[in-house]
Amino acid sequence: MNLGQAKTKAIQYMREYSTNSTINSAAQNGDYTLAFNNAADAAQKKIATIKHIIATYSISRNPILNQLGLLQGFDIVQHLDTDHVLTQATGSRAYYFEVDRQCTVHLEENVGGVWTVLSTISVPNTVTSFTAYKGLIAPSSASNLVRIRFSGSYPYNIRNRFLCQYTFPTVQDIPDYTPYVRYTMPADFMKLKGVVHITDPRVYERMSDYKWEGKRTIVINYYYTGSFDIEYYKYPTTIDSTTLDSYEFEVDIEACEAIPYFMGAMALVEENASISTILLNLYQAELGNLDQLDTGVSTMTLNLNPWGSVI
C-alpha cells in the first residue's frame, strides 16, 4: 500500500469520500488530506515497534598486521621526562597511536644513520583523554627505518601504537589500531536482531562474540576476518509534508491496513469524536492482531563436502 491509497481509504472510513453518490473533490477534503501525512508517519512508526522492519548493515574486515608484530602495541606506556621510542620498522608509510595529554610526537626516518623528522604532531593541552592520531608518511627509501618518538615536557600515557608498510588513499582509510573496532549503525537503527559472520573456511554462522556501546555502536575484535551482516530492526523513513503519495509503506502488507484507521481518527478528533473513537479502536485492534514474530529465517552453520552433502 502506498500513501495515496491510504489517504483514499482514510477518507472512505471517515464517510467523506462521496456525497449523494458523487465523489468529493480534492478541495473538499483538503483540510483532511493536509493532516494525513503526519498521522501516517506516527502510525507507521508505532507499528514498526510491534511488527518489525528488518534491515541489514554489512561490514568487512581483514586486519593489516602491525609492523611491530602480532598483538603488539596495545599496552599502555607512560611518558614522564624522557623521550620514548616504542615503535620502529622498515619503510613504514602509515601510523596510528593514542595519547591522553599534551605532548609532541615525531615521525622520523633513519637516513644514512641520522634520524630525520618526517612529520611532527603537536598534541594540544585541550586533550585530557585518550585521543587517536593517524597519518600518512613518505620515507625517502623503502629500506630505511622509520620510528615514532614520543616527546614532551609533562607526563602522559601512550597506547595502540601502529606502523604499516602500506599506504592508503586517505588518512581516514588508515585502520584504527585498537583491540576492538567500533562501527556506528545507520541513523534508522532501532534495535539489534543479530550478527551473521561469513568467513573462511566456509563459515556462515550467527555470531555472539561482539560488544555493544550506547544505542548504535557495535564493537568487534580487531583480528576477526570476513564479512559481518548486522541484522537490525529499523525505523521507517519519516513521512512529512514533502512525501509523495507514491511512497510505499515499509511495514508488512497486513500491518499497512491499520494505518488508514489512524489517519482518519486523527483527522476527525475534534470534528466528530464518535467516528474518531471508532477508527482509533479499529486501529488499536489491528495492532493487537499483528504477528509479532520476525519474518527472518534463522541461520544454521553447515560444513559441506565438495559434493554438496552435509558432513
Question: From first to last of its 311 residues, what are the pLDDT tens digits of the chain?
Answer: 999 999 999 999 998 766 655 676 666 666 778 889 999 999 999 999 999 999 999 999 999 999 999 899 999 999 999 999 988 999 999 999 999 999 999 999 999 999 999 999 999 999 999 999 999 999 999 999 999 999 999 999 999 999 999 999 999 999 999 999 999 999 999 999 999 999 999 999 999 999 999 999 999 999 999 999 999 999 999 999 999 999 999 999 989 999 999 999 999 998 899 999 999 999 999 999 887 544 444 433 333 333 333 33
- Distance of alpha carbon 180 from alpha carbon 222, whole angstroms: 5
Residue 61: count of CB within 10 angstroms of its CB? 18
Site of grid cell 534463522: 298
Q: What is the CATH number of domain 77-173?
A: 2.60.120.260
Residues of the chain with CATH 2.60.120.260: 77-173
> Residue 147: left (phi > 0), alpha (psi -120 to 50), or beta?
beta
Q: Is the whole model's pTM more than 0.85, yes or no?
A: no
> Residue 99: left (phi > 0), alpha (psi -120 to 50), or beta?
beta
Is the Cα torsion angle 208, 210, 213, 218 positive or negative in sign? negative
Is the Cα torsion angle 223, 228, 234, 236 positive or negative in sign? positive
CA count, 13 A, side-chain hemisphere, 213: 9
Query: Are 195 and 206 a contacting pair, CB within 8 Å?
Result: yes
